[in-house]
A = this chain, B = another copy of it.
């Protein structure tokens, strides 16, 4: 008997039929003698419907009230799944974040989980009951409803698995695992049986939509065994999905590169001709941070005329705002020559723990892109990934040629 936490996303909960499918899947796991906690998202489309309704009432909805509202999507889901489970003869009980309770900080719309009270859940599990928990939500110390931000249901699943010391956290989604890259771009993309946490973290942060990055961080921190699975596989035809492992458990002969990740949702900003003196990076990025704009890559090139060019990337949705800040607050202040930007760029990355011990991966990547005439605008590296910024029009081409160059279509 194992204690398993399963998480089902919006597509898996997308209709009454799909919800009954989830109930049957849960019941098959229960029939094997396992204890089950099931975390669910709002039905697909529901969160967007609620956000649109809020926008119709208020141009910039108050964030506390937005959380009160948006959290209802998951509340509906837990009730529906519990009903469906009871209909097929299982004991089931739904819990909102407040009922669990999942205590978070007070950062509405992007709260962080501080503590999970496992008393109610454990009592139910010991009473042979399937526990259904609303993902994405919690309450702060004063009883205010909070949400964890988009994709937060993954985080809820992992956090509950950590709190209960569960044997496995299964993230059910509409794909059957983590791929070497997006199969819509590279048909030869291959499903990975396993991937390390570090790689998954890079893949997630680089735009692979399979798992929310915070949930991967959480799983890494609390050593939660995480598995990505499809909720669309038929009974008897289920596969094992992709297991996200700690490196120790991996086989010795692992591929150097595990996958090619990419992110379209990027924009680049450059402050040209800035006097090259200490504190300049802070003077440029300080106002951006104050405006709550997340910065991703940061590059500074030293010129030889005593000035420097300073570039960084932001989420494309923040492009206009960031550009305005640079023009109005930064440029006059730092005496820059000009501010330029480009919101038609993308980021493509090769990810793999193997590159730690294999020099030359970067140059192989650059050569591959050069052979296709793809100009690299920015480069950023970490121990286990190399990212390049290129013109958005080259995205598919770059992903395809890199996938081939690193032999990812062949089984490891």
In whole angstroms, what is the CA distance A59 to B20 when docked? 12
Known: A16-B56, A87-B58. A96 touches B68 (CB 8 A): yes
Residue pair A76, B50 in contact (C-beta under 8 Å): yes
- Min CB distance, A25 to chain B, in Å? 15
A53 at the A/B interface (Cβ < 8 Å)? yes
Chain B residues within 8 Å of A20, by CB:
57
A307 within 8 A of B: no
Secondary structure of the A contact surface, majority rule: helix
The reply to whether A65 and B53 form a contact with Cβ atoms under 8 Å apart is: no
Query: How distant is the Cα of A62 from the Cα of B72 in the complex, in angstroms?
Result: 18
Q: Does A82 contact B (CB under 8 A)?
A: yes
A21 to B232, CA, bound (A): 45
For the complex, give the distance between the alpha carbons of A98 and B145 in Å: 11
List residues of chain B with CB within 8 A of the CB of A78. 65, 68
Contacts of A79 in B (CB 8 A): 54, 65-66, 68-69
**Integer count of this chain's copies in the complex:** 2
* Interchain CB contact under 8 A, B99 and A83: no
Against B, the Cβ 8 Å flags (1 = close, 0 = not) of A44-79 are 000000100110111101101110110110011011
**A86 contacts the other chain (CB 8 A):** yes
Interchain CA distance A345-B19 in the complex, whole Å: 42
A19: nearest chain-B partner, CB-CB:
B57
* Interface status of A143 (Cβ within 8 A of chain B): yes
Q: How far is the CA of A76 from the CA of B71 in the complex (A)?
A: 9
Given A72-B72, A72-B76, A83 and B54 touching (CB < 8 A)? yes
Docked-complex contact A75 and B69, CB < 8 angstroms: yes
CB closest chain-B residue, reference A74: B72
Q: List 19 A-B contacts (CB under 8 A).
A: A20-B57, A53-B76, A53-B80, A57-B80, A58-B80, A58-B86, A64-B82, A64-B93, A65-B79, A68-B79, A68-B82, A68-B94, A68-B96, A69-B75, A69-B76, A69-B80, A71-B75, A72-B76, A99-B143
